[in-house]
Structure 1
């Protein structure tokens, strides 16, 4: 029987049978690579879009809040970052269930087109000098469109890749999404730095304020066209197709039925709470590195924007390398030990890291950023896999969309704004570190309520394997394999067959 606590899953109502080799989904490696690239390119562009706004925060403050007090203008600009995350749950709540109904591929195509369009349009907005402070309204509206599309983007991509991946390597394949995210953010920082260097050397010190800031946003258009072209070619998730076909048979077990949003909350609230706690720790940690550090280093330490951008690019590239190795490690030793390392890492390293930043030296800057980013990399290595492993296939996109986006909206995207407010209100420059540490402590408690999910078939799905030989071994050893629980799989009833025919 399932090792889930009884409160976490609907009661099983249909008889189960033994697993057969023809029940297993054997992944086509070529299709898997195509799926990974198609999903990953969207995640890359999503974080490129977020990154350029984060690294242009002070420039955007001058461009869009001209005439305001500097500190107020900075908060208004950071609110633009936060407002995109406020609507993310709406995107997840609408696009997630839609993805469970019509398929992951179609929704991912839509989210990519919407995200690229919104980012490009920010690049053609008038400035406050041209339109007045009313320009904040269209800026916020476009940021909201970005947030809506992003609400379906990451949860859909994670769900899609997780369902496409072999169970024994799911952590690695889904972690490549966050590797792409770090590369996207690094690309955003690099483009901002390069644009700043080139435009100021050609047109003078005010070049970025005079229009150079538009260039990184406008580059989203060609990047988006490439991503849309790639997404046209990706296949649908095989696990979704199998589950979608079989759930049309009106199975009485709620685990195998596509649920509405209220039913998702009612049936899976324990997993939702665990997921929110983990993503809150992940989000505050990650967004401190990617979105708040440039502002913090410039406003509190007095470092130049180009210096902080270059330093963060180096750290993000290092994270991009670390993430898949940590994910592969989690496939072997489990998700929970990696989460423990991440949470304890934040509790131990953040205060010393912030102290190092205040030394104002280049060596201390890089060491401090590494210390802040290391626990974040451990979190990022697990996000896609664990969120997908918490929920059943029939309702996975909707469940992940709700859980991930609520947590990211409340605790991730608001991190730059809340951190800056904490610094200004308390006068304590270490307040952002304590903010992240609090959520890591909460996540450490949540781990006591989470089952280990590495190497197991996804809930509501049959095993996904890399070869027919692996399928045969899995079936042969199923009675001794703790990862196999046929009561959580959607298996078509078969007539009773002799034991010796099981491997046929």
Structure 2
């Protein structure tokens, strides 16, 4: 049987996608706003956890109230993998845009509903049960939210700007936190502590509804991503892989065929989100409950830190397009490993300036991770299974990272050791370092399974020239290897009497 090699068609300018700047801006705005909506809730929840403990778990001690409130935050992460599998399959079958419209509806309604739940004093045990159900609905929607949004931005972005444009997704995350924290401080300051604990804590959750309506409007108006449209076009031309009869890729297949990418994704997300939840969700409670600062004082410090992070975030993404994503993953992991204990020495010093410096160290380390995560993860999987694979990997690691506030609160209470958060971070720093050293660089390369993407025709010509130069270099390398092998062959021939 003679095997015929399929002739590879040369790549020309017409094969490079020219991305429309206006569509890119709309895509980033819609994705970032949805992400801001998600983290607005998480920010509000983290900053009012001390009040929720009193409202929904009034009979417990203050320490148990805090752990219980943060535990309600962590439990929904058990649901996130299910949401990831569900929305990932839908995203690969029907497209990214439709799924992102659905997730923001579920998120906004469930967040709004938290503000409607009566306290334990009114309906007893049903109060914490309803709170948990709302959080589980959020977890289900978030299972497809971040991964879908990062894929959406990555598939719209030109190859040379994917790091910078992807960094705005987590800019939205931080902005959501800042907005949530700022709203909590403003309302508690205006109403006073007593009124805020009585009913004022509900107001930030009510804001989720109008934010969700705006986000839904923006996402509904978007077109599908160029990469997914290309995949649909291939299907219509006879390529049946992945969509016509529904998703054919199981998690088992992803794990066996793309296990390196899967492990890399899990490592990056675990290291990033443990640091994220430690700094932005647990630290407000740590400052108020364990270090005995007034709630508003701790919140104001965190807000100042997050505002600083907003300015650093796009800069990290921009630089990663020049030097790559790997250096930031490695540097962030090393920083987390060696600076966590010094940071907490400053945080526990009792001096505001030093506390701010300690939190700033953790914030800069976090920026190194989140500045490149949204551009790194989608590049690891091919188009036809990108949503399913990334959602599965992302939510498995988030399942671990989401336990951070509850686990660290319990460890601190159990050991009376205020440095437990630092030790916890150092464990995941090792995970991040191993991942960073072993991962493949993805900067300035087309997404797997997608055509190269450029901002304009001039850039497309440069990309095509680089592609041809790369082919020429590979041919030269192969020629050199052939020459070396030929020399070895000749040397062996000369040693054999009959062949010679």
Q: Same fold (TM over 0.5)?
A: yes
Q: Secondary structure of the residue that 1:458 maps to in structure 2?
A: coil
TM-score by length of 1: 0.90
Give the alignment partner of residue 431 of structure 2, picking from 430, 442, 449. Answer: 442
Give the alignment partner of residue 141 of structure 1, picking from 116, 133, 143. Answer: 133
Judge which range, 468-477 or 24-33, deviates more. 468-477
Report the CA distance between 1:17 and its aligned residue: 2.9
- Aligned match of 2:147: 155
Determine if contact 1:14/1:252 at 8 Å carries over to the other structure: no
TM-score by length of 2: 0.90
Aligned pair count?
A: 468
- Cα distance per residue 1:121-146 (max 9 Å; x no partner): 00000100101133111110100000
CA–CA separation in structure 2 for the residues paired with 1:447 and 1:359: 32
- Cα distance per residue 1:177-202 (max 9 Å; x no partner): 001100100110000000100111xx
- Is the radius of gyration larger for structure 1 or structure 2? 2
Shift in CA distance, 451/265, structure 1 to aligned 2, threshold 3 Å: same
CA–CA separation in structure 2 for the residues paired with 1:247 and 1:445: 38
Given the alignment of the two structures, is residue 416 of structure 1 paired with residue 405 of structure 2, yes or no? yes
Given the alignment of the two structures, is residue 226 of structure 1 paired with residue 210 of structure 2, yes or no? no
Shift in CA distance, 254/136, structure 1 to aligned 2, threshold 3 Å: closer
Report the CA distance between 1:252 and its aligned residue: 8.3
Determine if contact 2:50/2:65 at 8 Å carries over to the other structure: no
- Aligned match of 2:274: 284
Given the alignment of the two structures, is residue 316 of structure 1 paired with residue 343 of structure 2, yes or no? no
- Aligned match of 2:48: 56
Shift in CA distance, 254/153, structure 1 to aligned 2, threshold 3 Å: closer
Report the CA distance between 1:247 and its aligned residue: 3.5
Q: Which runs of 5+ in 2 are unaligned?
A: 475-500
CA–CA separation in structure 1 for the residues paired with 2:459 and 2:472: 14
CA–CA separation in structure 2 for the residues paired with 1:483 and 1:270: 29
CA–CA separation in structure 1 for the residues paired with 2:473 and 2:158: 14
CA–CA separation in structure 1 for the residues paired with 2:16 and 2:225: 14
Given the alignment of the two structures, is residue 95 of structure 1 paired with residue 87 of structure 2, yes or no? yes
Shift in CA distance, 355/14, structure 1 to aligned 2, threshold 3 Å: farther
Judge which range, 67-76 or 434-443, deviates more. 67-76
Determine if contact 2:72/2:132 at 8 Å carries over to the other structure: yes
Report the CA distance between 1:16 and its aligned residue: 3.0
- Aligned match of 2:161: 169
- Cα distance per residue 1:373-425 (max 9 Å; x no partner): 110011001111111011111111111111111111212x1110111111122
**Which residues in structure 2 correspond to 1:356-395 (within 5 Å)?**
356-395=346-385
CA–CA separation in structure 2 for the residues paired with 1:436 and 1:110: 34
CA–CA separation in structure 2 for the residues paired with 1:67 and 1:452: 53
Report the CA distance between 1:254 and its aligned residue: 8.6
Alignment RMSD, CA only? 2.0
Give the alignment partner of residue 334 of structure 1, picking from 298, 302, 324. Answer: 324
- Cα distance per residue 1:234-256 (max 9 Å; x no partner): 11101111012214555488999
CA–CA separation in structure 2 for the residues paired with 1:199 and 1:47: 24
- Aligned match of 1:433: 422
Give the alignment partner of residue 396 of structure 1, picking from 363, 386, 392. Answer: 386
